[in-house]
Structure 1
Amino acid sequence: MDAVNPVNPVTPVSEEWKPPRLDTTVAVVTGASRGVGRGIALALGSAGATVYVTGRSTRTEGRTEGLPGTVDDTADEVTARGGTGIAVRCDHRSTEDNQALTDRVRGDYGKLDLLVNNAWAGYERSSDVRFDAPYWDQPMWRYELCEGSLRAQYDITRLLTPLMFGKDDGKTGLIVGIGFTDGDTYLGQAAYDVFKSANDRLSKAFAADLRKKKIAALSLHPGFVRTERVEAAWEALGDGPAAVVHSPEYVGRAINALAADPDVLSRSGQVLSTGDLADEYGFSDVDGRRLPAFRLEGRMSLATRMDRLNRVVAQAAAS
């Protein structure tokens, strides 16, 4: 992806990653059937955490858009890595589903230490209408997919936050919103741009309301991630991976570092990047590289690129 800043090169790192121990941590990672959410859940599993893996894709009820990965698969691998994975089928746009998840966590553990808001439906149905079409050519369902994703984050967070109150272990609770934007740079599609910006603003609002509680809320931006959707497009296009691509677990390692940081409360309300945290905390990606923070230059062509990727994935699935 040519939007990355070429003056900030990849740093080779040879040290094996030693995850901070999070054995008593109870976490919820939303949208963890695949992609970034799956990478986060697996990294937490490697640290010994208990992870509620949520999403709409299950072995018995089908997978969204036919993409690989289910909550069951992710939860099993979390457990295989030394954590405790708990698969929960949950559509976070449904308050009933969110309440059921909250009741289950309360009944099982009576507390929550970490919530990662990763679920995002804004890329769905991307082959139906060009993802980067101007707003006057966009159907309302595209706006509603983005709007529903933000509503889902708000709803599950308002329900789960009280489980972080009054914990007797003295640890700081942590709420992380997975976002993507770059200040004033337009992301190439109106609804996408608005709701990705709103994602960061929501984390800032959570932090303000939590200022008298021992709970941090912040926003974390990945770089260019090698997700299942991206891999499917590369396979169909015959392209190879971009030099700046990183694994979903790179994001998970950033969250591990934040969750283990006793001073994480000082970061509440901030917007952080995975690459910057890698430099600060000293972790690398699964291939040993340390990739820099992802920066945009000028008007972002991400929407055009996503349109191409999604169309190729849809065509490949239909063939």
Structure 2
Amino acid sequence: MRLRGRVAVVTGASRGAGRGIARVLGEEGATVYVTGRSTRAGGSPTGRPETIEDTAEEVTARGGTGIPVRCDHTDDAQVRALFDRVRAEQGRLDLLVSNAWGGYEREVRIEPCWTLDPAHLDLMLAAGLRAHLLTVQRAAPLLTDTRGGLVVLTTWAVGEPYHGNLYYDVAKTAINRIPVGLAEELRPYGVTAVAVSPGWMHTELMDLTPEQAAQTESTEFVGRAVAALAADPDVRRHSGSVRTVVELAAEYGFTDVNGRPTSGFWEQYARDLGKEHVSGTEC
């Protein structure tokens, strides 16, 4: 229960990485505000059955306190209201996990740029890059008042190698730049900012064979990475960087829920690049 007494906000937590992160934070004793657009009363914009209430209940069942808050992170008024509520109810914010990302509402295909649909770009920018920026911007006053906190942005560690989808490559590269600026602006307040990249995760959206599933990471693997960072008294050394989950697993000594320290995803990625290994800044 390393995070007992800590207050966290995890955005986009009705499913996927956000849900896995919230679960682990609950297991560590944190109070977790679980945000997203999917609720029991209003349903999901994507038609999925998972809800923020489901995630919040799992957080509480694991030993933390889960608080569901419906929030569309593309809407400035809703984002402001979220952090106003956290301030009113808790008076502090120790951990922000900015995870909401609308770019996967459509399949990200490897295809020539001239065949891409600009509507998909709009999703990646509005419900991805802009949502991240808006969320950290509205959380910043509470983080700076609290001092000593942590901002984690979930991402994909694109770098020199081209992803293959121009929209995705540019959007994720821009997101990976956010911790650089945040590290500079929040350093005087003792707040750390880092981007964390999982590998190929087995989420609720994926129908995989057992062989395929064996090559994936669970959504709680990235949750363990976030928890390790949040519990590290010297986490500032990571500020402004992009780190893969397997890098953090090696550093902090945690494994995935199946006991493995890695799915082998990044090792295969390194082999494809002709390297012995890759770091978060190279991927």
Q: TM-score, normalised by structure 2?
A: 0.90
In the other structure, the counterpart of 1:265 is 236
How far 1:270 moved relative to its partner? 1.1
Superposed, 1:13-162 pairs within 5 Å as 20-126=1-107, 131-148=109-126, 149-162=128-141
Deviations 1:216-260, CA, capped at 9 Å, x for gaps? 001101011110112xx32xxx56434331110011011111001
> Which one has a larger percent helix, Structure 1 or Structure 2?
2
- Greater relative contact order (Cα < 8 A, sep 6+): 1
Q: Is the 8 A contact 2:200 2:265 kept in 1?
A: no
Q: Is the 8 A contact 1:274 1:293 kept in 2?
A: no
Of 244, 247, 252, which residue of structure 2 is paired with 1:281? 252
Determine helix, strand or coil for the equivalent of 2:193.
strand
Q: 1 CA distance for matches of 2:153 and 2:140?
A: 13
Q: Is the 8 A contact 1:34 1:68 kept in 2?
A: no
Cα–Cα, structure 1 residues 239 and 22, in superposed 2: closer, same or farther, change >3 Å?
Answer: closer
Deviations 1:35-54, CA, capped at 9 Å, x for gaps? 10000000000000000000
Which consecutive unaligned segments of at least 5 residues does structure 1 have? 1-19, 300-319
Of 217, 221, 246, which residue of structure 1 is paired with 2:217? 246
Letter in 1 for 2:140: T
Q: 1 CA distance for matches of 2:190 and 2:157?
A: 28
In the other structure, the counterpart of 2:165 is 189
Q: 1 CA distance for matches of 2:161 and 2:91?
A: 42
Determine helix, strand or coil for the equivalent of 2:169.
helix
Number of equivalences: 269
Determine helix, strand or coil for the equivalent of 1:211.
helix
Of 174, 192, 198, which residue of structure 1 is paired with 2:174? 198
CA RMSD, Structure 1 to Structure 2 (Å): 1.7
Q: 1 CA distance for matches of 2:45 and 2:246?
A: 29
Which consecutive unaligned segments of at least 5 residues does structure 2 have? 274-283
Q: 2 CA distance for matches of 1:84 and 1:239?
A: 34
Determine helix, strand or coil for the equivalent of 1:85.
strand
Q: Is the 8 A contact 1:172 1:262 kept in 2?
A: no
Letter in 2 for 1:52: Y
Letter in 2 for 1:35: G
In the other structure, the counterpart of 1:294 is 266
Q: 2 CA distance for matches of 1:156 and 1:184?
A: 27
Q: 2 CA distance for matches of 1:121 and 1:262?
A: 33
In the other structure, the counterpart of 2:186 is 210
Q: Which structure has the greater CA radius of gyration? A: 1
| Percent sequence identity over aligned pairs | 48
In the other structure, the counterpart of 2:154 is 178
How far 1:293 moved relative to its partner? 6.9
Q: 2 CA distance for matches of 1:50 and 1:93?
A: 24
Deviations 1:266-289, CA, capped at 9 Å, x for gaps? 211011111111111111111111
Determine helix, strand or coil for the equivalent of 1:65.
coil
Q: 2 CA distance for matches of 1:178 and 1:59?
A: 25
Q: 2 CA distance for matches of 1:182 and 1:65?
A: 26
In the other structure, the counterpart of 2:197 is 221
How far 1:265 moved relative to its partner? 1.1
**Which 4+ residue blocks in structure 1 deviate beyond 4 angstroms?**
none
